[in-house]
Structure 1
Amino acid sequence: MIVVYHQNNRVTKVVSGNNDAIFFKKNKSIASVLLSLANDFPELPIVWCHELMENNLNIEGLTTFFHHNKLMLSYSTADTSFLGNRIGFVEESPFIKVNKQCTYPTWLMSSEVGVIHASVLILMGTRVTENSNFDYFLNSVAKVGMILGLLCYSEPRLLLKNAPQPNPQKANLFVLFRFVKQHYKKRWIVLLFLNLLVFEKRFSILPLLYSLFFKSRKKKALNFDFIPVQSSLTIVDKKTIDVIIPTIGRKQYLYDVLQDLAKQSILPINVIVIEQNPQPDSVSELDYLTTEKWPFTIKHFFTHQAGACNARNLALSHVESEWVFLNDDDNRFASDIIEKAFEKAEQYGIEVITTAYLQENEKQDYIQIHQSGIFGSGNSFIKKTALKEVVFDKALEFGYGEDTDFGMQLRNKGFDVIYFPDLRITHLKASMGGFRIKVKKLWENELVQPKPSPTMMYVFLKHYTNQQLLCYKLVSFFKLLKKESFSNYGVFFKEFEKKWKRSQYWANKL
């Protein structure tokens, strides 16, 4: 590897993994030196580190957690990122509120310490031009690269304990607007302006106009496929897997799912079926579980308690194998999906996989392997060790957001969710399911009905920044405003505020 030490926006020294000095041009920016080194050493990882942290750089550990070439790792000892909390005004993804205690997926990079492979830098250098501000350059590389399949993380293991904290650089509004203009659709600079005006009372017209002079970095096509990926980690050992399936009123659909599982090239050890029927005198209708022979053990549990969160938690408590396949009772999939999921886990060194999940005849828009901002409880593969202290939150039962919450719990335990477009599960969207059970909400008799759903508000309050919540509020406001007549704007605004406050009230009750 190559290690670049820097201070005061200039490189101070460059050394090899053996600590041999390497020549560099001292009058160049840090980004320029990195790009030059990448061309000189295209097969090596390139590390950057603030000079104050030289003695705390975890050189020995790097080879463990930088385990394949399509990674970008960074860490900041500061509480906030270079772009600050206001970046939440333009992005609602889970990548903004970073958990600094674990490996966490984010494109928010820091100049303090980090590592990237030279081959990635060479490719990104064709789109992301050199910048005198090293933090801006790193965040730009990660933001552009993450969409294209570069896996980006905040990695606290880059530093040993008790590392000193350099004075962090912070982007001003001109830099923030420029970044938004170069990395998001144009409408987001307007929304950033409006968010600042409404929620911070800042009239940021000059930063907005300044940003118009910069071109987008999203348009030029890049292909990461030529960069090989083969993790050095051992993620799959026994190749054993259990499947969990909550079901309610879908006897034939479930039978078809079991038939697909019976044809797998790698068979599951256990299929855990949680059958729900809230009718007091009801009994199981799944006679074929015992009348037919299956090439796996079926663990069948019948309950009168309806609810997908409860059912999945019950199933997860009975998982025995190394991996678990979170399935649904109206899915269809190919006979090699488990085998291919294991192959992807080994190749990328990951513990959580989510698949393409399309309805019949639905077009597949996302065709790039990437860090997913969503999680699917009916189409995901998870290593059992990732599930410690992770459950489906029963506060979200019969509402919305339980998948999002579960995915956020995984990320906050250090387990990223990676989407693989060539792993495909067809979701038949059968007409009968858990939501046909009418459940009375706590707020159903409220004179002012909460909006958005208190369960969605609950997820936002639990996992996202205040700026992300406010952005969601403003976007929701404009979406609903379009449906109102001009003469009703005053009444609409008052009603919107009342509904929002009731949503917050019930979310806090949950």
Structure 2
Amino acid sequence: MRIAILNYNNNSKKWEFNGTPFHSFIDGLKELSNKFDVLGWCYFPEDKPILKASIIKNKTNELPELVSFGSQLFLENSEYLEAQNPYFNSFSTGEKGQYDTWRVRSNAGYISSIIIKEFLTTKFPSSYKVCLGVLGYYTFRAGGLVSVSYNKSLTSNKIEGLTNNEYIEVISFTRKKHWIFYFLINLFLFDKKIVIPIKYLFKNNYILIEHRPSLWSKVSKFSVDVSSKSVDVVIPTLGRADFVFQTLLDLNDQDIKINKVILVEQKLPNQKETLLRKTLDYNWKFNLDHVLLEELGLCNARNVGFGKSKADYIVMLDDDIRIDNQPNILENLIVKLETSKAQIISFASNNIKGNTFSEMSYFVSGCSFLIRNNNILPFNLDIEGMGCDDQEYNNNVHDNHQRVIYTNLEYINHLRAPMGGWRFDAKEFLPWYDGGIVPLPGPVTLHRFLKYATENQLKGYKFFVFFKYYKFKIWKYSLFNKRWNKSLLWANKIIEGKVKLDIKSGVLKN
């Protein structure tokens, strides 16, 4: 493993490698990426031995990863824009180990040259701190791993956080132009600060960083003894017998041995017995564990499936998916999970109608993820039938410092079956639609922000929602505030466990 570590020369104010200075931090990384496997950097020279030892210990030269160390998450001083986009979120605030976030620490770090090579022609800011923030975001967007290390051996030297103007420069590289105006107005409203970034008011450096499958091309060749691992598949189902059968036919063609498929069937209203007799009587290569639940609820069904597995890994799928021409999809997912030491790998869902991949670099989707069968977090039963269960689960796993990675090299076709499943007319049975005023945003969404966002993030989110729906109609603020307060009321009731729904009333009969 070839390692190069950049040092910051406090006298020349330049980043150097073996005495050779570079015009900027990113120029140094780009130039060295063709000669070395791992590129490190130290702002304080006394941290160099500790950093080098960490690089050697972790052996991540082939893994597309950025790991940073230091005294603080130096972007913490500005949070108004971050609650709306999980890439910008700071869910994890404790020190339980490494966790995935685009946020980075400022004292030291290292990155695989695989990532830098993907950005050789990409424009970056010249300032170290701004560049590091942008590099973390670009890496995460491209599908790499961005982690924070809580190594206590490093010096306690601190680097100042970003100024407002520096943070605006980060925004200009990572968000579209109108987000700068959102941030400026938030600063004025909540911090009573007026900032006029002339340089970025009419010029924006934003580019769309797309997921790069090439980052993981070498990882799939790593040697992992998949044959020693056991895999179960959990499929909650409701009224989709024919679709479930097709899904299992695809699983039957997998090269890796599946221990068992756990079918958690929920009864439709007036359903007397299972609808899956054809599936249950078929001669599958794997064991079939069928559960017939009297009560409805997707969150509950998924949790029941989790509880019935003792395998090393669990694959969570919907009951209307197809796996086309990918007999080694499960094997490839396990290799990536083992190599990255992640807890969850989320894979792409390809909607046949639109034929487009859904980008889920930060998102755990209940229809397409593989998880280690240890420290599994349950789906939240408090929002059963209210929607947003995947979003809630996503926030929860990040808040609990569980590493989530994403791939679109492996994918499923999600048929989105037009029958069975979950078909609710929310306005008919959700209690907050009574009384004339419709809450905004939905209480389930707001309850998630109350649980996981910071106070500043919540302020920024409220401001964002107003502009999204009312633009510059300031005279509408009184109405909006009533809608927000109604949502807030019900969001708190959800958190307190005071909202219980009759889910059966929301399910259409076949």
For the superposition of Structure 1 and Structure 2, which TM-score range results when normalised by the shorter chain? 0.7 to 0.9
| 1:356 and 2:348 are equivalent in the alignment | yes
Paired residues, number:
488
- Is residue 178 from structure 1 mapped to residue 165 from structure 2 by the alignment? no
Which deviates further from its counterpart, 299-308 or 102-111? 102-111
Q: Distance in 1 between matches of 2:236 and 2:28?
A: 55
1:419 is aligned to: 406
Unaligned 5+ segments in structure 2 are: 498-510
Residue of structure 1 equivalent to 2:149: 155
Give the Cα separation in 2 of the matches to 1:290 and 1:152. Answer: 43
Match of 2:295 among 305, 311, 335: 305
d(CA) in 1 for partners of 2:475, 2:131: 47
Which of 385, 390, 393 is matched with 1:406 structurally?
393
List aligned pairs for 1:220-231, cutoff 5 A.
Answer: 225=214, 229-230=218-219
Q: Is the 1:50–1:111 contact (alpha carbons within 8 Å) kept by the matching residues of 2?
A: no
CA distance in 1, matches of 2:256, 2:226: 13
Quote the offset at 1:427 in angstroms: 1.8
Of 236, 240, 250, which aligns to 2:230?
240
Which whole-Å CA distance do the structure 1 matches of 2:439 and 2:378 have between them? 26
Instruction: Please report how far the alpha carbon of residue 155 of structure 1 lies from its aligned counterpart in structure 2 after TM superposition.
Output: 2.5
Distance 2:27 2:279 in 1: 64
Q: Say if 2:387 is the partner of 1:396.
A: no
Q: How far did residue 74 of structure 1 move?
A: 0.6
User: In structure 2, how many angstroms separate the alpha carbons of the residues matched to 1:420 and 1:191?
Assistant: 32
CA distance in 1, matches of 2:90, 2:466: 23
Change (3 A) 1:269 1:405: same
Alignment of 1:67-466 (within 5 A): 68-78=62-72, 80-82=73-75, 84-86=77-79, 88-89=81-82, 92-99=85-92, 100-118=95-113, 120-121=115-116, 124-129=119-124, 131=126, 133-156=127-150, 159=151, 161=152, 163-204=154-195, 206-207=196-197, 209-212=198-201, 215-216=204-205, 218=207, 225=214, 229-230=218-219, 236=226, 238-277=228-267, 279=269, 282-334=272-324, 336=327, 337-345=329-337, 350-364=342-356, 372-385=361-374, 388-430=375-417, 431-436=419-424, 440-441=429-430, 443=432, 445=434, 448-466=437-455
Paired residues of 2:87 and 2:137 also in contact (CA < 8 A)? no
* SS across alignment from 1:410: helix
Deviation, 1:152, is 1.8
Do the aligned partners of residues 98 and 478 (structure 1) sit closer, same or farther apart at CA in structure 2, a change above 3 Å counting? closer
Quick check: 2:231–2:314 contact (8 Å CA) kept in 1? yes
Q: Report deviation, 1:436.
A: 4.7
Residue by residue over 1:123-178, the C-alpha shift from the partner in whole angstroms, topping out at 9 and shown as x without a partner, is 535434572x322222222223332333322232xx2x364421221211111122
CA offsets 1:29-66 (integer angstroms, 9 cap, x no match): 65555555546x43444343533545754715643263
* Partners of 1:467 and 1:354 in 2: CA distance: 29
Contact 1:95 1:105 in 2 (8 A): no
What is the rounded CA distance, in whole Å, between the counterparts of 1:487 and 1:220 in structure 2?
34
Residues 83-116 of structure 1: CA deviation (Å, up to 9, x unaligned): 6333635852155215242222222223312111
Judged with a 3 Å threshold, the aligned counterparts in structure 2 of structure 1 residues 13 and 59 are, in CA distance, closer, same or farther, namely farther
Task: Map 1:58-69 onto structure 2 (within 5 A).
Answer: 59-60=53-54, 62-64=56-58, 66=60, 68-69=62-63
TM-score normalised by L of structure 2:
0.82
The verdict on how the C-alpha distance between 1:136 and 1:260 changes in structure 2, with shifts beyond 3 A counting, is same
Partners of 2:101 and 2:147 within 8 A in 1: yes
- What letter matches 2:189 in structure 1? V
Question: What is the alpha-carbon distance in structure 2 between the residues aligned to residue 219 and residue 284 of structure 1?
Answer: 48
Change (3 A) 1:72 1:477: same
Equivalent-residue separation in structure 2 for 1:226 and 1:247 (angstroms): 35
Equivalent residue for 2:459, pick from 470, 480, 488? 470
Could you tell which deviates more after superposition, 350-359 or 245-254?
350-359
Q: Secondary structure at the match of 2:214?
A: coil
- Equivalence for 1:24: 19
Offset at residue 219 of structure 1 (A): 6.7
- The whole-number CA distance in structure 1 between the counterparts of 2:28 and 2:148 is 23
SS at match of 2:363: coil
TM-score by length of 1: 0.82
Mark the CA change 1:279 to 1:65 in structure 2 (over 3 Å): closer, same or farther.
farther
Moved more, 252-261 or 63-72: 63-72
Q: Which amino acid aligns with 2:148?
A: S
> Which residue identity does 1:354 align to in structure 2?
S
Q: State the distance in 1 between where 2:280 and 2:187 align.
A: 62
Worse overlay, 235-244 or 178-187? 235-244
Q: Distance in 2 between matches of 1:397 and 1:28?
A: 55
What amino acid does structure 2 have at the position aligned with 1:86? E
CA contact (8 A) 1:327 1:380 kept: yes
Cα distance in 2 for partners of 1:360, 1:224 equals: 20
- CA pair 162-63 structure 1, distance change in 2 beyond 3 A: closer
The answer to which of 217-226 and 98-107 deviates more is 217-226
Q: 1:183 to 1:5 in 2, by over 3 A?
A: same
- The 2-side partners of 1:375 and 1:27 are apart by 40
**Structure 1 residue 396: deviation in Å?**
1.7
Identity of aligned residues (%): 21
Separation in structure 2 between the aligned mates of residue 199 and residue 390 of structure 1, nearest angstrom: 36
- Counterpart-to-counterpart distance in 2, 1:451 and 1:215: 31
CA contact (8 A) 1:236 1:345 kept: no
**AA partner of residue 3 (structure 1):** I
Tell me, what secondary structure is at the counterpart of 2:161?
coil
CA distance in structure 1 between the partners assigned to 2:396 and 2:107 by the alignment: 27
Alpha-carbon distance change, 506 to 115 in structure 1, aligned in 2, over 3 angstroms: same
